[in-house]
Amino acid sequence: MKKISSVLTVFLLVIATAFKARAQVSVGVSINIAPPVLPTYSQPPCPVDGYLWVPGYWAYDPDNGYYWVPGVWVRPPHVGYLWTPGYWGYDGAVYVFHEGYWGRHIGFYGGVNYGYGYVGTGYVGGRWAGNSFQYNTAVVNVNNTVVHNTYVNKTVINNNVTVNNNSFNGPGGVTAKPTVQERSAANENHIQPTTEQENHRQVAQKDRSQFANVNHGRPETTAMNKVGGNRFTPEGNQRQHNVKSNPDGQAPEGNGQHGNISPESQAGNQRARQAAGNPNASDHQRSQLLAHQRAAQQYRPAQQHRPAQAPHHEQGHRGRR
């Protein structure tokens, strides 16, 4: 009996270990309602040299549905690390959220075109050069008074690319598959979203105006210049810090349908969202959303924009890594 008991104990431990391992690689929440389309918005300028852009995305609250986490400039956890955005993917009968992560190379993010360098594959908004990050101002917006490591690479612009508002991978959305490079990046060592990023998400979750069943897919705050910093409207105007709290257990006001989108928002699906910083525009013109939308439609999806090698320093030179 002792031997049988020992064997049973070992067996249960193996099962428990396997379950724990599976839990560690969990892709996150899954639901049967597709996320709303991505809103169109202007990117605030990078406020600190070395910060990287994390695009906005729709997160999900089990009680109140989808809410928009604003795009934001953040400090990377290590020099040389890049951000692979999270994405919603259709798996069987449910939509599953695949958490974003930090790593040496950009992995697969569903083929979703988040804009501002995240064109559906790779990242064309900047590159690491030693311990410094260089910004491609043909794609991203920076504060030139504090950020000086810049270059212009217009080769990523493609006039033949049609940009849409799709926010998920699957039927009715993006149908991209991971490339060989993206599969390889998925097997590298990763760092999960930083504490700063998690705090940023939690603040959005407590803001009633960020929920889709309140804003009908048009959140009041679409981007921030940094975590806990200034809030910006879709047009790029700065907002006051008037977060509308969403107490636990109290559903946001609205139609009660998670992810419901108004007809006006549906009509807006045909417009290009998220511009990527028109280098010909002056600072006071960056709030003109139309100019940004035209720029966003021109980003060329690129598979191998990996800032692992030291880039050329001439302005306007091709930004290949």
Residue-wise pLDDT for 257-301, tens only, equals 343 333 333 333 333 333 333 333 434 333 333 333 334 333 333
Which residue matches tokens 């003109």?
Answer: 288
Structure tokens at 121: 């594959």
- What contacts 244, CB < 8 A, 6 or more positions away? 207, 208, 209
pLDDT, tens only, 88-130: 999 988 999 999 999 999 999 999 999 999 999 999 999 999 9
pTM: predicted TM-score of the whole model, two decimal places: 0.69
Which has the closest alpha carbon to 270: 237, 291, 293? 293
Closest alpha carbon to 191 in 266, 122, 105, 275: 105
Give the distance, in angstroms, between the CA of residue 10 and the centroid of all CA atoms in the same chain: 43
Query: β-strand 57-61 against 65-69: which pairing, if any?
Result: antiparallel
**Which of 45, 17, 29 shows the shortest CA–CA distance to 285?**
45
Rg, C-alpha atoms of the chain: 21
Residues paired with residue 224 on neighbouring β-strands, in sequence order? 72, 231
* 135 neighbors 144 (Cβ within 8 angstroms): no
pLDDT tens track for 7-32: 444 444 434 433 333 333 335 677 89
pLDDT (0 to 100) of residue 233: 94
- Provide the CA 236 distance to its chain's centre, in angstroms: 18
The pair of structure tokens assigned to 7 is 């064997």
Cα 259–chain centre separation: 18
Tokens 């260089």, residue located = 134
Beta-bridge mates of residue 169: 89, 174
